[in-house]
A and B are shown apart, each in its own frame.
Chain A
Amino acid sequence: MVTAIGIDPGTKSMDVFGFDDETDKVVMDLAIPRVEVTKNPAIVLDAIGEVDMEVDVIVGPSGYGLPMVKASEAKDAEINAATFITKADVARRLNIVGLRELMFHMKKSHLNIWFPPGVIHLPTVPEYRKINRIDMGTADKVFTAVSGIKDQAEKYGIAFAETSFIALEIGFGYTAALGIEDGKIVDGVGGTIGGVGYMGMGAMDGELAYALANTTADFSKMMLFNGGAASISGIDPQKAPIEEFINLARNSEPQVKLAYSAMLESIIKDTYLLLSSVRKPKEILLSGRFTRIKPFVQDVTAMLQGHLSALGIEAEIRTLTRTGGEVKEAAEGAAVIANGIAGGKYESLIETMELRKSTGGVFSHIYLDKETRERIEETFT
């Protein structure tokens, strides 16, 4: 029997999920508010310490990811790159600072903790798709893909290597999309390279990048959490629940409806971006905080069905199956990776995905001048 725990660092909560693979019993199902983790990162390990059984492997959060490595063996520079941030943002104590500190706690911990890769570290994604990308899907998006592969294989009774789908993670911060073929991630549209998300604006028009960078003294990471549907509709995402946003949009409040239309069409366009990588997906799998809201799922499903059937693609559209009560799907995916690392029943899943062969760094695929690349490495590692 293998007991495994996975940790998913969402924008609103850090989710911890554990199970044993003999009985599939859930041993941990906990969502810790992100603000609490940022205040005191050690509370995550404290919570795991309260589990009344021996835990074989824990897969920790790893931000943008790093080649899969045991936490105790991770280099400081790798952790810094996986949580890269400016000095000014460190002073602002953004959530990612808490994540970085948690990773350093994990490095020192006696527990068997592993840091997982992001999409950009995977050998199954061709180099030409990585050009000038940082975020093709953070490590937690890899968790979602793992959950999807497990879910589809179990639903259809097929091998992990026979799974094929496009995963759409519609979260509080961003929307991301992943292409999975033959049980491997082959392409990814991360939160900052896709369309309009709830908080984030997605990919940036190069001209807008120029305008913003030259009119703002300090280009904070918070800039990336702005310009999305919440900004467009004038809703404060920290005060109003997302249900209110959806209700207002469906009740035709003009500015909110505009934002909702942009967000929905972006989801469809992100899906279409991946059709050149996964031409005949068996399914479109929806996950993330927004997909817990029924009317939203109905709207996305209706739009996707209409568009995909026009293309002759008969993929089933459904939400990812969840086992946990409190946590999101990604945390379950993290726990599945932990199980695979420990040699449990999902070992072949992580071998199929080639997670152990992950390589390179977050900044390894920037094709700009040498001076710029060196400055980035020096500043952020």
Chain B
Amino acid sequence: MFPGAKIIAVDDEPEELEKIVSSLRKLGLACIAYNYPDDLPEDFPNGSGLRVLFLDINLVGGSSPDQDANVLNAPISLVERLVSEDNGPYALITWSSTSLHNNLIERIATTASLQQKQPFYSKALPKEEYAGAPDKLKEEVESIFSNNAPFGALIDWEKRICRAGEFVLRDISELSNEFEGQDASEKMDRMLSKLAVDAFGRAHVGAHLFESVNEALLPLLNDALNVQFNLELDGDIWTKAVTKHGQDNGLSDAAISKLNTSVAFEASNVFKPYRRGAVIELPEVWKTEEEFERKFGAKPSRIRADILKLEKPKDLDWVLIQTQAACDFSQGSIGPLPFLLAAIVPADHERKTNKKGHPLSLPAMVWVTPTLRSADILNNENFHFQIIHGIPCQITRKALEELDCKVIGRLKDQIVTSLSFEHHSHGSRPGFVSFR
């Protein structure tokens, strides 16, 4: 129900565990503590957002000094269970005075199932020295992030975002008192309902409860974030964290594509085809030359050559991208959904050239995404979308179902917003993050 704990401690000795927890408590740091194996829940709560994991290495007895693999089973298994794939950066602190810590880190690094769960930092602390010494432990916890300033800075950023959320909750709690109701819960219900209706329109709220409330709260959150991001910086963590801005980043093309993909595109087939930003394969029945021409006004080869100016490849994978405006749900009529025709263009494409051999320029109606990369598209080769906002089409939700449209991913919000502006104005548009 609540966000996961930021600190988790696991130990097989309850007394030792209590020492750690009480030390952290004195510092005002909340910590979930598990006495292994007795207090272990059948299923762990979602461990997302964990930032520091304290683990005793010797959790299961009976291992001899020659049995590293055996003794490391428990910590490895707990990292696997406590840290979720989506956790993000965390530090791993082990209670150990032996060489087992290094062996554990080596094994975590080589365990295939832990590839997404590598700690950004790890250290062995001798229990004798730290368990009963809260001030020393505090220094150590703080040093995890001050010595790894980029991560410390990100934690600062995460903290500001959490605070912004807290402020929104505070504000709407106060505002809900203006609504009628027998108790606080009913008042808040009325307030959220009002926000939902105003955001999406009464006819749509029932089918989109969360989205509609969210649509109303987002501007409040955005404002709160602005306040948080403009607060004075605590200490010099950001100065220490971002120091290479004057240097060449030395990134490979593959790495740049990967970075661009992370901010621009998410390959997945779980999105609904009618959602904003959805990228769907061209419906099967539209792929014939005749049907393609009927829908988009020209045969695929003509669009490839005349609009996209591509010499190679001759055959392209065509997709449709949903570009509905974010506020359209709140309008009175449901209406058909707008899509733009786009092609998946591989990095090794060849552009048509003029008589001097120079590549032809793309017309203004074609908008090109940054270079992307995805295991599910073009065998993990670099590619980009060339989106033709001069060739829109409209499909109703019912037709999307009947055409059995297959979703291959979604363009992320900043890209869709930028694309929408391009589509509507052919003019200036807000920028987006593009790694080069």
Do these two chains interact?
A: no
Using a CB–CB cutoff of 8 Å, the interface residues on chain B facing chain A are: none
